Structure 1
Amino acid sequence: MTSWVGRTAAEIAAAVREKRATPREVVAEHLARIERLDGRVGAFRVVRAEAALAEADEVAARGDLAELPLAGVPVAVKDNLAVRGESRRLGTAATRDTPAADDHVTVARLRAAGAVVVGLTNVPELCVFGTTEGVHGTARNPWDTSRTAGGSSGGSAAAVAAGLVPIALGNDGMGSLRIPAANCGLLTLKPGIGVVPAGVSDGDWFGMSENGPLATTVEDARLMLSVIADTGFVRRDGPAAHKVAVSLRSPIAGVAITKPYTTAVREAAGLLIKAGHPVRRADPPYPVSLSLTSLVHWTAGTFVDAQGLDRQHLARRTRVHAAIGRSFVGTARTGRAREALRRRLEPFFDEYDVLLTPALARRSPKAGPWHERGWLSNVLANTNYSPMTPPWNLTGWPAMSVPFGTLPSGAPCAVQLVGRPGSEADLLEVAEQLEQRHPWQRTAPLD
């Protein structure tokens, strides 16, 4: 009997379309793996076992089965996006356990494409921090379960890295796709503004939050992105040469990048040179004020999201974060600091097509009850390991995390690719060249 666990979304969909597999057997096999392994990983807040099997049968009965791009593909959804019939808890006890009447537009598009939602994944409270733990569970890195999967799309990343689903939906407001993808050895792309419908929360953290895919291959990331964006991201007829800038500098002053991540960038740059790209060392002109701009938007977005919730049910770190952000809401809403940052960085991207950086500064923190720890310890832990991602939410430009190399522990390492607005297809092309020349192990060896 053919096993569909560990197959890519593209492979599963092709098999279902060609009737070499049924949606029910594919979904049932993944549900069995979730039941067996998720106790060690903590990816899911809720598993929709019966509903998913029923939906798999509905997919099998569709008259357009042969045309569905994600026919029968099990998918996980981050627990800050509405899934019809399920509550949206945002990692907190302060939200109501009330089923959603409708799907978020990205979830609706996945279902229309033939995907089956098997569950909702764990997030940190209000999706604030770069570690995933709280009242609904702790998401661990399947490659090293002593470490956090990252956040805030930590549960979605853990689910894909553990082979519980081939693809998952997450979102990114300050790195929330790229951080857990980098920790867990996955491919992700935070699209630029307007490419994929947002609607993540009230105001989407002032337009910084974007929905995107978590996958194990560029092909799957491109496929899923095309579905949720409702547009194609096709390959060129032939590879194009892109001017690549290589930077090892942290955008946040005072944060050092550790050797595994700088080594990964240097080796990736060497492969891109061999692929025919002009590559040069060059640092973007990050302003000294970037750390303050990031903090202003990060905390102000949390204050907006916390409005209307019972503060007594929020963790102390979240309450403090929101309280600090209250005085910054007006500043964040004007968008002047973000526009100034874009103007400062635009000349750099007039000269270079792609920026290659480390995805993280160091390995992720130990998994544990970070939600019970103080605000400052959380902020310092987050800043010291993930300073590379926030600038590209502030600018609203596309950015990717691509697996590359390993850490001394054997867990994955990763690089980040950044491009100017509208360059999603170019970034996917460059990532695919890295994948072809330096393939990575797609799922963690949990069995």
Structure 2
Amino acid sequence: MADERTFVIVGAGLAGAKAAETLRADGFTGKIILIGEETERPYERPPLSKDHLHGKEGAREKAFVREPGWYAEHDVDLRLATRVTHLDISLKKIVLDGVDELHYDKLLLTTGSRVRTLDVPGAQLPGVRYLRTVDESDALLDHLKRAANVVVVGAGWIGLETAAAARHHGAEVTVVELADLPLQRVLGDEVATVYAELHRAHGVTFRFGAKVASFKGSSALESVVLDDGTELPADLAVVGVGIQPNTELAVDGGLAVDNGILVDAGLRTSAPDVYAAGDVVNLDHPLLGRRVRVEHWANALNGGKAAGKALLGEDVTYDRVPYFYSDQYDLGMEYSGYASPGEYDQVVFRGSPAIADGKAPEFIAFWVRDGRVLAGMNANVWDVTDPIQALVRAGHQGRAVDLAKLADPAVPLDKLLD
């Protein structure tokens, strides 16, 4: 008997695409409608600030989740350049572009997030750019190829990856950051210092404890003015000051929202038959024992898959260890876990994090509290994600390890829990 249900996915990014893939792979034969506001088919975002921004051949095309014909071949109704303007959970319908009504049997919200913008004089000048979409990455790459002086506003992951790309293209680079170190809120002082030294070794100048007061220029950007009056020459400024979840549709539908759409471990929202996944969700995480909103690629990838199974009625418990990665110059890293500043009592290093002769180090850092590993980061050390995630999972479950052995490279990581 044919399945006559209609599953609607709002948000045609990685999470939405993976949910649609999972539905078909797991045998769903009903109607799937995947709706996105952009004109491009679903793509992944990491290449936009990494390989593509460095100008590597083929990187742009590799960002797309599937080849152009996949959606039609798998009977996925992909509707691009389409905005969902209203959600009525009582009637189980959405409104497209303020006009067309569409009924759903189950609904998945993967509406993602958008960049935070700077509201200062001159912010609309040509040459002030943001990086979130593939179109923005295309335009930024073109500008980087001819930029002489680049100011990066914000020393988070996007800001630092952009700074590395700008140096790759030969520009002089200054990074403006309100905190005392790059990535300080994410990594804490111990590991944030590594990134400060790494970028300085590659010629980047930092202006810490500083804010942008304005952007100056006549017909295009010419300089960036800081709050202390310092004027930095710039023909390109890239603003990377964070993202915010796209919760407007959820609010319109009356869903519970607080720094994202509130979902339980099964990715269920407060409304019947409405699920959410990816950047936009504030998850009641069963492993971490708290609500978290994770803004990284792996969460969209794995959350989308889990949401597809949840739509099919499977008993889903989404408890993945948070994971992200970054490549800057000759330092590649992977981070697993969750440890905010103030929540750990020490960082244990396996290997030295010092930069020697301008060369990036090889080490693993563990954020520890009471002997429990809360997070781990492997830098230029590979094929250790699984044992690190096992240590993190055990740590959040209350199990401590021997810290001397944790720091000893001679002790295999997978033996620490024996």
TM-score range (shorter-chain normalised) is under 0.3
Specify which structure has the bigger relative contact order, considering alpha-carbon pairs within 8 angstroms and separated by 6 or more residues: 1
Which structure has the larger Rg?
Answer: 2
Structure holding more strand per residue: 2
**TM-score for the superposition, normalised by structure 2:** 0.26
**TM-score for the superposition, normalised by structure 1:** 0.25
